[in-house]
Amino acid sequence: MKVPVLLSTSLFAFASFSFTEAQKPNIIVILADDLGYGDVSAQGATTIKTPNLDRLANEGIRFTNGYATSATSTPSRYGMMTGMYPWKNDKAKILPGNAPLIIKEDQYTLPKMMQEAGYATAAIGKWHLGMGDGNADWNKTVKPGAKEIGFDYSNLIAATNDRVPTVYVENGNVIGLDMTDPLQVNYKKNFDGEPTALTNPEMLKMHWSHGHNQSIHNGIPRIGFQKGGKSAMWVDEDMADYFTGIAKDFMTNHKDKPFFLYFGLHQPHVPRAPHSRFVGSSGMGPRGDAILEADWSVGELMAHLDKLGLLENTLVFFSSDNGPVLDDGYKDQAVELLGQHKPAGLLRGGKYSLYEAGTRVPFFVYWKGEIKPAVSDAMVCQLDIMASVATLIKKKLPAELDSQNTLKAFMGKSKKGREELVIEANSKLAYRAGDWAFIPPYNGAVRNQTGNELGNLPEGGLFNLKSDLGQETNVAKQHAKKYKQMESRFLEITKGYFKTNVKDIVLE
């Protein structure tokens, strides 16, 4: 194994941060799933109230230019966990539930860094980075997984709540499995005699609109096929309570030493099946109710930190893996009951999109007593959590990482963040720099089956986000020189990528 060159980040640390082992701040990263820029009341939503998220936003730093790396889940999470642009790994795409782990076991990761610094580490909630070697036997310990990339403890759903297997996996083992009823998973063909949404629609309590018509569990059709494992199957409506409780237990058990917690919310990803106490609470159907359930979950974690006396020694990052989507495969009235609510706020696009709403997401950083409330226009990215935390706790990082130290921006000490960022949506790339958004020329559909605009512009696109946040006017022709400058820098950063990964790009 090649030993990476290491760069010291401690040179940039603040003099005020000098910790003993016991005083090192706890680090929590909370990542929502498909939560849009406009889905939080602190971001301007008026038809939904999210008081617990608002607390993080209003009592911490609320970033107006906070980004995920990608407009879909797996690559976005890969970037955050590894500090590497996900488009550099051709396996970092939306994964099935039986996909192998896409992070190499010898790869340096955020949780490994935290372990090296003496932190207890945990991953709880949504995973979607693959488990096993591609031939997982769910009736045995599935590895490699979260443990092999740096998590001491994990309790996860393998992929998404709309994909099989619909079981909880704790430290690589399916919880509650009865070995006389082994769990089988297949993404190519169904098991003989097993019902699907197509063969047995009478079993459904939630109906599919597109792409979710295979195995049925809990009255909900999923992507993929499964058989057996009945005693281990989750109840969707109980998932928020379950994972919130597990996270609180982890914090309690590690209150006397520093910990790093990655908490992956499953809301408001489909299928939206919130607990009964949230049903009808938003007036916008299951999607709105799921957002309020997520807000409750965050509130529970913060209240528990307070109860344990840890608020003043815990740095909390909150964001979303990508932008919003309404009809992502189920008939749950997300479109019909939307009313005046704008999930993307004033942004264009959403999940799957190269437009701003695909990757510009809620992004709040909170640390009681250390961060003064502020709104920042600095460009920050989840990719940079790794290098920024490394600076805070005085760790060294491999030189080849794409993660940048933006700790001063995260702490509200500077209005300067990233200068530039390459973002990704379904293997297509775009570029942000300063006030400008550049989209290379791509062929392809204007919208996908969800109705979201994808940002495919055969002529290429250039948008001034300062004067045109909604990207209504493509100024590529009016600012031809700027377009060429952006294109040149973009191609310099992504050199070699398009030859092998994007076949329909129009670039000469």
Mention every residue, 6+ apart, whose C-beta is less than 8 A from residue 339.
47, 283, 284
387 with 434, same domain: the answer is no
Task: List the Cα angle 316/44/306 in 5-degree steps.
Answer: 30
Instruction: Count how many domains the chain has.
Output: 2
pLDDT at 23: 79
319 with 447, same domain: the answer is no
Using an 8 Å Cβ cutoff, are 73 and 392 in contact?
no
Residue 433 predicted with pLDDT over 70: yes
pLDDT at 496: 85
Domain span at residue 482 reads 421-501
Residue 243: what residue type? F
pLDDT at 506: 55
How many residues are listed for the chain in this entry?
508
- Residue 358 forms part of a structural domain: yes
268 with 324, same domain: the answer is yes
- Residue 431 forms part of a structural domain: yes
Q: Which residue has the higher pLDDT, 502 or 422?
A: 422
318 with 459, same domain: the answer is no
Nearest in space to 250 (alpha carbons), one of 260, 238, 265, 241: 260
Task: Return the CATH number at 476.
Answer: 3.30.1120.10
Task: Give the mean pLDDT of 225-247.
Answer: 98
% of the chain with per-residue pLDDT over 70: 94
In whole angstroms, what is the distance from residue 233 CA to residue 165 CA? 8
Q: Which of 368, 392, 416 is the last residue of a domain?
A: 416
Residue 12 predicted with pLDDT over 50: no
pLDDT at 498: 79
Using an 8 Å Cβ cutoff, are 86 and 382 in contact?
no
Q: Which of 363, 387, 416 is the last residue of a domain?
A: 416
Q: Which of 416, 442, 477 is the last residue of a domain?
A: 416
In whole angstroms, what is the distance from residue 385 CA to residue 111 CA? 11
Identify each DSSP E strand in 215-268 by its residue range: 216-217, 220-221, 225-227, 259-264
268 with 311, same domain: the answer is yes
Task: Give the mean pLDDT of 161-167.
Answer: 98
pLDDT at 505: 58
Using an 8 Å Cβ cutoff, are 288 and 337 in contact?
yes
